[in-house]
Structure 1
Amino acid sequence: MFQVGDNIVYPMHGAGIIEAIEEKEFSDKKQSYYVIKMAVSHMKVMIPTKKMSRSRIRPVTDILALKNIIYTFQNGTSDKLLPWKERYKINTDKIKTGNILEGAEVVRDLMRMKKEKRLNASEKKMLDDAYGYLLSELEVIKGITEKQIKSFC
């Protein structure tokens, strides 16, 4: 499915690059693993190649999808009436999908709220994390300009 050198997105971790495909032996069973270096945390993650299709890991979005992402980020409505616990769960579920549009919605909504009032500690951390995941993917999209990345600031 993926090759060494491919840029990927791992939900809740952001963008990364597949550095190697290694065979490891655990409990007398040999198995192939993708070795992924994550951009945000700089940690290395090993995922069995057999489990990759169920992991929600996906290729990095391409430049053609960027217009939709920017539009989503700059437009759309935010539901400000939800209690923060419900909003937090909805936003967490959006981030877990790994979908860049849903991640952009979370960043957009929390940034809008931050302009109006102080975010609680949980939502502030969520904003920081979601923003980091979004930027980590934007930075590796082929053909994206620095100006387009800054439109998310």
Structure 2
Amino acid sequence: MTKSKKSEFRPDDFVVYPAHGVGRIVSIDEQEVAGLRLEMFVISFEKDKMTLRVPTARASEIGMRQLSSPDLIERALDTLKGKARVKRAMWSRRAQEYEQKINSGELMSIAEVVRDLHRNDEQREQSYSERQLYEAALERLTREVAAVSGMDEVSAQRKVDEVLLSRVAA
């Protein structure tokens, strides 16, 4: 197996894959695809019971990245404290933008979606699609907070909830 510049990712590393969130590299295997031998990262998304194979040569191009730094996690949590910024565009266009932010894999963009779609008890009901987008963004954020902070997802969820509730109280 040739070692290329892909050494930034190693087996057992947690990584963020844009369309699926936080996963763990299980191994680096070779696989024959259409007559070509390709080196693949084998990434496990345990909670989703899913395994993904990503060609090592394309990982960065696809947007796969290391976990965020603890500093970036703090900045993302600070973003949650901000006032929701909701554009006056039609819901279908806003929903599309939220979906793109979630699937970008960028922590700050995901935090913005959580901030913008979070509702406290006194606010109006969320539509089904708003709730789906909110929960998807919240889950991605929580999983990365958990992985970076070395805590379980329940504790990470509690931490994120505390930040969102502190915003409501302010």
The normalised TM-score by structure 2 is 0.80
The within-5 A match list for 1:16-31 is 16-31=23-38
Could you say which residue in structure 2 is the equivalent of 1:73? 80
Could you say which residue in structure 2 is the equivalent of 1:43? 50
**Preserved CA contact (<8 Å) 1:36 1:45:** yes
Could you say which residue in structure 2 is the equivalent of 1:134? 141
Q: 1:114 to 1:8 in 2, by over 3 A?
A: farther
Could you say which residue in structure 2 is the equivalent of 1:122? 129
Could you say which residue in structure 2 is the equivalent of 1:150? 158
**Preserved CA contact (<8 Å) 1:8 1:57:** yes
Could you say which residue in structure 2 is the equivalent of 1:82? 89
**Preserved CA contact (<8 Å) 2:16 2:22:** yes
Q: Report percent identity of matched pairs.
A: 26
**Preserved CA contact (<8 Å) 1:63 1:144:** no
How many residues get paired? 153
**Preserved CA contact (<8 Å) 2:14 2:66:** yes
Tell me the amino acid that sits aligned with residue 125 of structure 1.
Q
Q: 1:113 to 1:82 in 2, by over 3 A?
A: farther
Tell me the amino acid that sits aligned with residue 23 of structure 2.
G
- 1:150: how far off? 2.2
The normalised TM-score by structure 1 is 0.88
Tell me the amino acid that sits aligned with residue 127 of structure 2.
N
Higher helix share: 2
- 1:52: how far off? 0.7
> d(CA) in 2 for partners of 1:40 and 1:130?
15
Confirm whether residue 61 of structure 1 aligns to residue 68 of structure 2: yes
**How well do the aligned residues superpose, as a CA RMSD in angstroms?**
2.2
Q: Give the gaps of 5 or more residues in structure 2.
A: 1-5, 162-170
- Bigger-Rg structure (1/2): 2
